[in-house]
């Protein structure tokens, strides 16, 4: 199998080379590129190794993309790249079309088992004057690789290199790259305020550009239940009807949710659904009072207090309910994880909490998923296959380490996107800290609070939505900090440096502006002014 693939690759490469040689015979094109330096490009996250060779690859109307054939996902990656090239340059680059009359340069997206790229998402880019060869083991690796390529397509063409031809010069050299953590995520709280499918898709577009691979959706809380569950319809009819501040809330139908999952999958992003319990369950209990365990009068809640609600953990119906919910969600969710929340259950008695988490873990496993929970779940008797998300308690994180569990690093003091930047911030909270753009970047998730790196699955930046109710406010809190977290989770510590990152971040403005992202223009960054008014060609 591996051998036949390798042969296929060789045959395809052979044809690409012959093809290019023929086109060369047709027309000898010599372009004198000004000296380039690939190592000075504004990559984020910074690749493992960049070796410049100081020449140029001409991206122009004579460029074509070819991909490995019959390997799932590669043709789609080629088409995705062509779409993004069109959006940035307005060039129509053909994908996997033979017999193109006048091709001068080729981008070849190649699946290879024989090249060691360091893992599923690793890739290597070899950029020479007439070809760009992107090698990876998987479509996910090639997808990460084309994000790197997108970042080095210049904003403007050089129109004087060849008379009459607009050329976007890509610096030549070699890039060897591979992520340090397998889990690189962000979370959106769509429960406190609801965000539309379109909003979520836009967030995915930006996360993908920075090589994120996880989107965690916080789908239920005291203030709202946001995913249709067919066997318990009142969850969304009643529980989805409002949100913080008293607006009308909303929810995803199962079709909407699937649309988000499919869109994320096209970006090689896994969606992790969270149903937060046994606390944070007011919306569920208002919809079905039989679930309620705090003995209080039930009503829809639009405030921002936490910790007052709980399920009745000793009632069988509660577990029948949870079984139905997890079964439906597991069937809709291709990813390997289901998040059960488990945080701030202040009115659940400790033994009840432990009993509950133990039982719910078994339900998640029954549907062939791995359980994730906020760090409190490590106080229960759970398996080493379950995962703890460290947000507040070092003690809980240590308990998870002692159980041999993996940990997702989301310490609120460093990684919470809903914390204000400073006292003047328009949105956000500050119970954990103020988190300016430098503080968000200058810390080491690899050794934070003494958690051994071997237990760390990766990093996630949660965006809670008590203080934000639309996409612009969401973008104000998420960007630019989420860009820095992409580097913390992808790039090794030796390769990170604030002074250097600052400059690369300042140069993200063309992308952010083209995407119409209302980022917070922190004064710590000398933002590159957009001299050229971009013609908005298409969504990038």
> 356 vs 391, which CB is nearer to ligand TNX?
391
Among 48, 57, 65, residue whose Cα is nearest residue 123: 48
What is the distance between the alpha carbons of residues 540 and 535, in angstroms, rounded to a whole number?
Answer: 12
> 460 vs 466, which CB is nearer to ligand TNX?
466
* Residue 388 burial (CB count, 10 A): 29
Q: How far is the CB of 304 from ligand TNX (least distance, A)?
A: 8
What is the distance between the alpha carbons of residues 379 and 310, in angstroms, rounded to a whole number?
Answer: 17
What is the distance between the alpha carbons of residues 390 and 407, in angstroms, rounded to a whole number?
Answer: 7
Per DSSP, 55 falls in state: E
> 132 vs 461, which CB is nearer to ligand TNX?
461
The catalytically annotated residue of 344, 361, 376, 487 is 344
Q: How far is the CB of 341 from ligand TNX (least distance, A)?
A: 7
- Cβ contacts of 72 within 8 Å, gap of 6 or more: 139
Count CA atoms closer than 13 A to 185's CA, side-chain side: 25
> 267 vs 280, which CB is nearer to ligand TNX?
280
> 391 vs 519, which CB is nearer to ligand TNX?
391
Q: Rg (Cα) of the chain, in Å, rounded?
A: 25
* Partners of 65 in beta bridges: 95, 107
What is the distance between the alpha carbons of residues 415 and 411, in angstroms, rounded to a whole number?
Answer: 5
Contact 93, 63 (CB under 8 A): yes
- For the packed helices 481-490 and 498-506, what is the interaxial angle rounded to 10 degrees? 130
Q: How far is the CB of 479 from ligand TNX (least distance, A)?
A: 18
Q: Which two tokens stand for residue 429?
A: 């909270």
> 208 vs 477, which CB is nearer to ligand TNX?
477
Q: How far is the CB of 466 from ligand TNX (least distance, A)?
A: 6
Among 524, 413, 394, 419, residue whose Cα is nearest residue 476: 419
Q: How far is the CB of 378 from ligand TNX (least distance, A)?
A: 13
Query: Is 344 an annotated catalytic residue?
Result: yes
> 321 vs 391, which CB is nearer to ligand TNX?
391
**Burial state string for 98-119 with b = 16 or more CB within 10 A and e = fewer than 16:** eeeeebbbbbbbbbbeebebbe
Q: Which residues contribute to the site for ligand TNX (CB under 6 A)?
A: 306, 343-344, 374, 391, 416, 418, 429, 464, 466
Q: How far is the CB of 464 from ligand TNX (least distance, A)?
A: 4
Q: How far is the CB of 435 from ligand TNX (least distance, A)?
A: 11
What is the distance between the alpha carbons of residues 20 and 104, in angstroms, rounded to a whole number?
Answer: 7
Catalytic residues: 344
């Amino acid at each position: 199998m591996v051998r036949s693939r390798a042969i296929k690759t060789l045959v395809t490469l052979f044809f690409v080379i012959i093809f290019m040689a023929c086109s060369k015979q047709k027309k000898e094109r010599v372009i004198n590129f000004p000296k380039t330096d690939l190592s000075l490009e504004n990559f984020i996250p910074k690749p493992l190794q960049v070796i410049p060779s100081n020449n140029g690859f001409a991206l122009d109307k004579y460029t074509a993309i070819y991909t490995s054939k019959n390997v799932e996902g590669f043709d789609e990656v080629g088409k995705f790249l062509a779409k993004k090239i069109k959006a940035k340059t307005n060039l129509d680059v053909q994908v996997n079309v033979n017999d193109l009359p006048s091709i001068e340069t080729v981008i070849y997206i190649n699946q290879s088992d024989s090249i060691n790229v360091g893992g599923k998402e690793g890739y290597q880019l070899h950029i020479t004057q007439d070809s760009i060869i992107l090698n990876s083991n998987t479509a996910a690796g090639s997808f990460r690789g084309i994000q790197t390529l997108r970042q080095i397509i210049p904003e403007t063409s050089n129109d004087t290199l060849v008379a009459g031809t607009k050329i976007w010069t890509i610096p030549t050299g070699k890039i060897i790259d591979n992520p340090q953590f397998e889990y690189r995520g962000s979370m959106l709280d769509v429960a406190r305020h609801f965000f539309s499918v379109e909003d979520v898709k836009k967030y995915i577009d930006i996360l993908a550009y920075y090589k994120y691979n996880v989107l965690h959706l916080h789908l239920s809380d005291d203030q709202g239940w946001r995913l249709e569950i067919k066997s318990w319809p009142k969850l969304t009819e009643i529980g989805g009807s409002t949100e913080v501040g008293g607006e009308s809330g909303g929810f995803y139908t199962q079709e909407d949710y699937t649309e988000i999952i499919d869109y994320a999958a096209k970006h090689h992003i896994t969606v992790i659904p969270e149903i937060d319990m046994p606390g944070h369950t007011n919306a569920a209990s208002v919809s079905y009072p039989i679930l309620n365990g705090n003995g209080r009068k039930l009503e829809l809640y639009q405030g921002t207090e936490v910790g007052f609600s709980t399920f009745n953990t000793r009632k069988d119906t509660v577990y029948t309910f949870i079984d139905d919910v997890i079964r439906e969600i597991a069937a809709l969710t291709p990813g390997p994880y289901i998040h059960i929340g488990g945080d701030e259950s202040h009115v659940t008695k400790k033994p009840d909490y432990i009993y509950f988490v133990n039982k719910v873990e078994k339900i998640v496993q029954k549907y062939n998923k791995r359980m994730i929970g906020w760090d409190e779940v490590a106080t229960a008797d759970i398996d080493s296959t379950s995962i703890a998300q460290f947000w507040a308690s070092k003690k809980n994180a240590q308990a998870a380490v002692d159980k041999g569990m993996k940990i997702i690093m989301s310490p609120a003091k460093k990684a919470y996107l809903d914390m204000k930047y400073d006292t003047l911030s328009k949105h956000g909270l500050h119970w954990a800290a103020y988190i300016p753009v430098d503080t968000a970047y200058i810390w080491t998730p690899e050794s934070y609070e003494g958690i051994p790196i071997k237990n760390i699955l990766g990093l996630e930046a949660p965006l809670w939505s008590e203080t934000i109710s639309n996409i612009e406010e969401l973008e104000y809190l998420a960007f630019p900090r989420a860009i820095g977290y992409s580097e913390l989770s992808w790039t090794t510590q030796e390769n990170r440096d604030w002074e250097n990152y600052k400059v690369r971040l300042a140069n993200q403005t063309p992308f952010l502006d083209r995407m119409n992202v209302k980022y917070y223009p922190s004064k710590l960054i000398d933002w590159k002014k957009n001299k050229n008014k971009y013609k908005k060609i298409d969504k990038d």
